[in-house]
Amino acid sequence: MFIGCGTALVTPFKKNGKLDEPTLRKLVKRQIQAGIHFLVPCGTTGESPTLAHAEHLRVVEITLEEAKGKVPVLAGAGGYNTAEVIALGKELQAMGADGLLSVTPYYNKPTQEGLYQHYLALARAVKKLPIVVYSVQGRTGVNVEPSTLKRLAGIDNIVGVKEASGNIGQMATVLYEVPESFNVLSGDDSNAIALAALGGRGIISVVSNEIPAEMAKLARACLDGDFAAARAVQKKFLPLMNVNFIESNPIPVKAAMAMMGLLEPSWRLPLVPPSAASEAKIRQVLQEAGLIQ
């Protein structure tokens, strides 16, 4: 279900800081019309740590309403309190989410056994939903080791991992350890082709917020073994992939989307607008890519 390119959706806010529901609906429709393979609301790119509980549920609800079963919705459900993650997971399951993307507990830095027990508890609580583990040590302070992923892959409804370590060697080891049926997805746009060459099944993308059709094409080409076509897309848009991380995600991608006329340039504290220098660089990259005048 979760292969190809999934978009880690931004959460649009109005200038007053409130959730911009009409814009969210437009963004979801744009993604589906562009041929994206699945949608991922309320992840890191969706500023989930700053969403109130009701807002989190509302973002997923709107995404499901607009997706209308045309594409799967992999809803974000992570945190450092296992009981709270389970409660959220149950709510999302009841709403009709197609799966959960669950980031590793952060700040409290659990051991590998702690990570295993955390995901086991979540999987048992939401047996009807497939779960994708999200490993991103740069943000959480904890890495899901390949040996732990091998154990997790033995749990029926843990079906994959968003691997955002940036470590190609680790990704290769993960693919060596887990069964072929376990979906290993890139968490970094620029690593998607490399991971696909090792046996990865796709990407959960930031840049597809800006260029959904192009990233869907890249992911499809990788799955088809047409790496020349995939490289052509990457060569054109690598500067955009990189500039999206010139400051903390999702500051740059939302700035770029605002320049493209897709949303209001609004973030929630502690995120702030990009610096003038970063904004100028983002604008330059968009112009060079032909995305704005």
pLDDT grade for 44, boundaries at 50, 70 and 90:
very high
Domain ranges of the chain: 4-227
Cα separation, 251 vs 36, in Å, equals 22
pLDDT higher than 90, residue 141: yes
Query: Which single residue is written with the structure tokens 């892959």?
Result: 153
CB atoms within 10 A of CB 273: 15
Q: Which amino acid is at 227?
A: F
Position 25 scores a pLDDT of: 98
Position 28 scores a pLDDT of: 98
Mean pLDDT of 254-274: 98
Whole-number average pLDDT of the chain: 97
pLDDT in tens, 149-187: 999 999 999 999 999 999 999 999 999 999 999 999 999
Integer CA distances (angstroms), 102 to 82, 119, 171, 195, 217, in order: 11, 9, 18, 20, 26
Helix axes 53-67, 21-33, angle to 10 degrees: 40
pLDDT higher than 90, residue 1: no
Q: Which amino acid is at 137?
A: Q
Mean pLDDT of 108-117: 97
Q: Find out if CATH 3.20.20.70 is the number for domain 4-227.
A: yes
Position 98 scores a pLDDT of: 98
Position 247 scores a pLDDT of: 98
Catalytic residues: 134, 162
pLDDT higher than 90, residue 268: yes
Mean pLDDT of 236-262: 98
User: Comparing C-alpha atoms, which of 138, 159, 6 is closest to residue 71?
Assistant: 6
Q: Are 43 and 133 in contact (CB under 8 A)?
A: no
User: Comparing C-alpha atoms, which of 239, 242, 247 is closest to residue 278?
Assistant: 247
Percentage with pLDDT > 90 across the chain: 99
pLDDT in tens, 186-234: 999 999 999 999 999 999 999 999 999 999 999 999 999 999 999 999 9
pLDDT in tens, 66-109: 999 999 999 999 999 999 999 999 999 999 999 999 999 999 99
- As a three-state string, the secondary structure of 136-173 is CHHHHCCCCCHHHHHHHCCCCCEEEEEECCCCHHHHHH
Cα separation, 211 vs 170, in Å, equals 28
Using DSSP, state whether 165 is helix, strand or coil: coil
Position 235 scores a pLDDT of: 97
Q: Which amino acid is at 83?
A: A
